[in-house]
């Protein structure tokens, strides 16, 4: 798998220059971070006319639009704890200071502070929760959690 990163990668994610991360896929523009968090590797999800969205398009792209989609489709609810919990799947939503949503990351199962993300049209990577905070994605603004049922467990395991 080719793992060359875009030239501006460390400018966009300055914390990754000094923190461990792992590239877990070849670069692809087939899907994006929201699709990745939803378990879809075949299309780009975003509440905008140029992308797939499972509901009527909202008037504005907001964090609450993305939260509502994950709640309606998968039962995610807001949570306060980023620590891994047995039987719980978690997603982190990032936004810029003006509230514009920018990214979603999926917590890995296994007990460590490890998350997986699709980085735009680049690679999927494994990283720490706050390692992507910076000029491009802003910061983590909300954590979502849902119980992993037998049916959902298979989906989560296939997703990450």
Of these ranges, 4-18, 49-63, 76-90, the one predicted with the greatest mean pLDDT is 76-90
What rounded mean pLDDT belongs to the chain?
88
For range 79-103, the mean pLDDT: 95
Kindly report the three-state secondary structure assignment for every residue of the chain. CCCCCCCCHHHHCHHHHCCCCEECCCCCCCCCHHHHHHCCCCCCECCCCCCECCCCCCCCCCHHHHHHHHHHHHCCEEECCCCCCCCEEEEEEEECCCCCEEEEEEECCCCCCCEEEECCCCCEEEECHHHHCECCCEEEEEEEEEECCHHHHHHHHHHC
pLDDT reading at 101 higher than 60: yes
Question: Which residue do the tokens 């910076």 mark?
Answer: 134
More confident residue, 5 or 116: 116
Model-wide pTM > 0.75: yes
Categorize the per-residue pLDDT at 13 as very low, low, confident or very high, splitting at 50, 70 and 90: very high
For 118-147, how does the pLDDT look when each residue is reduced to its tens digit (9 = 90+)?
Answer: 998 889 999 999 999 999 999 999 999 999
Across-strand partners of 95?
A: 101, 139
Structure confidence by residue, pLDDT tens digits, 53-72: 998 888 789 999 999 999 99
Domain ranges of the chain: 9-159
CA distance 8 to 78: 33
Residue 79 has pLDDT above 80, yes or no: yes
Percent of the chain residues past pLDDT 90, beyond the cut: 70
């Amino acid at each position: 798998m080719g793992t060359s990163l875009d030239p501006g990668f460390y400018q966009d994610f300055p914390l990754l220059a000094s923190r461990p991360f792992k590239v877990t896929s070849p670069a692809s523009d087939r899907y994006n971070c929201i699709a990745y968090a939803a378990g879809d590797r075949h299309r780009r999800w975003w509440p905008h006319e140029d992308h797939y969205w499972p509901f009527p398009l909202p008037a504005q792209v907001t964090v609450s639009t993305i939260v509502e989609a994950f709640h309606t489709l998968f039962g995610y609810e807001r949570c306060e704890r980023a620590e891994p919990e047995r039987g719980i799947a978690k997603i982190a939503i990032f936004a810029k200071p003006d509230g514009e949503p920018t990214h979603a990351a999926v917590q890995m199962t296994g007990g460590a502070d490890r998350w997986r993300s699709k980085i735009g049209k680049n690679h999927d990577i494994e990283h720490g929760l706050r390692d992507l905070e910076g000029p491009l994605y802003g910061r983590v603004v909300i954590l979502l959690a849902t119980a992993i049922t037998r049916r959902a467990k298979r989906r989560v395991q296939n997703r990450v």
